[in-house]
A = this chain, B = another copy of it.
Amino acid sequence: MLSRYLYLPLLLLSFFGLSAQQNAEIPAVYEQDAREIRRIYDQVLQNSSSYDWLHYLTKRIGARLSGTPEAAAAVEYTRQMMDTLGLDDVRLEPCMVPHWQRGTYEEVRIVHSNKVGSRDLKAVALGGSIGTGPLGITADVVEVHSLNEVDTLGAAGVAGKIVFYNRPMDPTRINTFNAYGGAVDQRALGAARAGKYGAVGVLVRSMTTELDDIPHTGSMTYLPDINPIPAMGISTNDAALLSRLLQEEEVRIFMRNNSSMATEKPSYNVIGEIRGSTHPDEIILVGGHLDSWDLGEGAHDDGAGCVQSLGVIEALKQLGYKPKRTIRCVMFMNEENGLRGGRTYWENSFKAGEYHLGAIESDRGGFTPRGFSAEGHPDIFAEGYKYISQWLPLLEPYGITFEIGGSGADIGGLKDQKGMLFGLVPDSQRYFDIHHTAADVLENVNKRELELGTAAMAALVYLLDQYGIKE
């Protein structure tokens, strides 16, 4: 019978005292702020619509590549959601966007290998790639690990061939964005570099540290005066296979796709704001980008950032908060393959003589937030960073810190307004498993993790509104 009376104290005991919440020592001057930030977190974690909005964006609308009807639907949906929040102003900002279309087929096949015979590889066209023509391209493959290696090989080494970029993302970098930054030049510029020497196509190892069967897309560009050639991404498992084969034999590849660039389409940034009571000309921006790649549902990239930004406004409204400064929420269009929305926004903002005191972009996935990266014009950055660092005791109880680093593609152009620019920094470990793939779907977003990002952004908006960025 004794076995029935399990001894439980240890089970209960080990769960206390683990939280960073215990360590907070809040200076007296910030006590009211600590209460406000607690209210913000309570509000968001209990009542935020962020996840429901993301459900609509991903499951009702789906992928939102610039120029598509789905991107237009997302513009209209988020405009309507802003309307329901009772903002002082909601408007669309027109911009023309590129309209790349994936086409109806995309194939990469090993057609000639003594070792594995004929074999289909998991492949997708890179975003922006031209098509191969209906007959496809068949050519020998040459493997390289950098753009420089293509220069070294020159026309003698690559002309008439398919160049296979196979430098992996470095798994030992703790922050996976650094690993991505160290490899993505192959995807972005690989076709242009290989085309310069007469290559007929490129294959690019997918941007992930994992070995799996999921091919990644993402933007690539052609350069003036260089013949454009088709570019496709292949899964890391297939990249590893192809590399092994190439160590022993020549491999012939067939690649075929009919993606193409359509005419530009009219589209919009979606902008809503709560006007400031005492400093309406000082703008605090929160935003993400509404467009996504066409694979998956654009759930983390960047549906998450959009609904978090909307959630910031919602929480402040629900709490009846009356900002001193203008709080503006922006859904940017076309971050993925053109940045037209961002550029248009900056241009109009500078023309109008606006001042963004602070801008926050969320575009690194809806994972547990760990802090904000901060950047700014050299004239103001050192002082600003020191000033905001005073707020750390208010944010650390929620696991939030500051670090120096890039903010976000859509807001970087505001730097000359000399405000502080921030990027939400979530845990980065899972992002490149799904980034720009068919796996970027709602099921891979955790509701609590998403909401904690919303709350962290709202807390920073609150502090920027209360205290500005200097004495």
Interface residues of A (CB under 8 A from B): 3-8, 10-23, 41-42, 45-46, 98, 128, 171-178, 180-181, 184-185, 188-189, 209-210, 219-224, 228, 261, 264, 337-339, 342, 368, 370, 373, 397-399, 403-409, 412-413, 423, 425, 427-430, 433, 446-449, 452
Other A-B pairs, 6, CB within 8 Å; known A21-B175, A41-B174: A6-B98, A12-B184, A16-B181, A18-B177, A46-B172, A429-B449
Give the distance to chain B from A236, nearest Cβ to Cβ, in Å.
Answer: 13
* Contacting residues, chain B, for A398 (C-beta < 8 A): 174
Instruction: Specify the chain B residue showing the minimal Cβ separation from A449.
Output: B429
A45 to B171, CA, bound (A): 6
User: Would you call B446 and A174 a contact (CB within 8 A)?
Assistant: no
A373 to B18, CA, bound (A): 6
User: Would you call A181 and B128 a contact (CB within 8 A)?
Assistant: no
User: Would you call A18 and B430 a contact (CB within 8 A)?
Assistant: no
Instruction: Specify the chain B residue showing the minimal Cβ separation from A337.
Output: B6
User: Would you call A17 and B222 a contact (CB within 8 A)?
Assistant: no
A–B complex contacts, Cβ < 8 Å, 16 sampled: A3-B98, A4-B228, A6-B337, A10-B339, A15-B180, A15-B181, A16-B406, A17-B373, A17-B404, A18-B178, A19-B405, A20-B174, A20-B403, A42-B172, A46-B171, A210-B447
User: Would you call B261 and A4 a contact (CB within 8 A)?
Assistant: yes
Q: Indicate whether A188 sits within 8 Å of B339 (C-beta atoms), given known contacts A19-B174, A175-B21.
A: no
Number of copies: 2
Option from B11, B413, B425, B433 in Cβ contact (under 8 Å) with A188: B11
User: Would you call B188 and A448 a contact (CB within 8 A)?
Assistant: no
Q: Indicate whether A430 sits within 8 Å of B409 (C-beta atoms), given known contacts A5-B223, A12-B188, A21-B174.
A: no
User: Would you call B19 and A173 a contact (CB within 8 A)?
Assistant: yes
* Contacting residues, chain B, for A425 (C-beta < 8 A): 18
Option from B6, B220, B406, B430 in Cβ contact (under 8 Å) with A15: B406
* Contacting residues, chain B, for A10 (C-beta < 8 A): 339, 342, 409, 412-413
* Contacting residues, chain B, for A4 (C-beta < 8 A): 128, 221-222, 228, 261
Give the distance to chain B from A219, nearest Cβ to Cβ, in Å.
Answer: 6
User: Would you call A412 and B14 a contact (CB within 8 A)?
Assistant: yes
Taking each of A11, A22, A224, A339, which has the highest tally of chain B beta carbons within 10 Å of its own beta carbon? A11
A430 to B451, CA, bound (A): 12
* Contacting residues, chain B, for A448 (C-beta < 8 A): 171, 176, 209-210, 429-430
A209 to B405, CA, bound (A): 34
